[in-house]
Amino acid sequence: MEAINQFAPFILIFAVMYFFMIRPQIKKQKQEKKFAQELKRGDKIVTKSGIHAKVIDLNNDDTCIVETMSGKLKIERSAISLELSQKLNTSPVEKK
């Protein structure tokens, strides 16, 4: 019984770390992977480095070709930012 009492704080700390740090990170990684797999032609995206582009072709090797205002780029699907792309597609565009 004394051994359980000694390890109880460590078990509690691990459980708290799992639910507040590890589990949300795993969930976020799954969302990003799903987003990258569900890309289609014509989607407007933002890369993690801040480049705004439009998907014009998807390759089987986890890359895609995007069109920016200055030309076409071949990028990895993992370089596309989920949060920034969602903001771009959901934010209202102001017309002047």
What pLDDT is attached to residue 3?
80
- Side chain identity at residue 89, one-letter code: N
What pLDDT is attached to residue 53?
94
Beta-sheet pairing, 63-68 with 71-76: antiparallel
Tell me the percentage of the chain whose pLDDT exceeds 90.
60
SS3 54: strand
Q: Where are the beta strands (DSSP E) in the chain?
A: 44-46, 52-58, 63-68, 71-76
Domain boundaries, the chain: 2-90
| CATH T-level fold of 2-90 | SH3 type barrels. (2.30.30)
Q: What's the whole-number average pLDDT of the chain? A: 88
Give the confidence band of 91 by pLDDT, cuts at 50, 70, 90: low
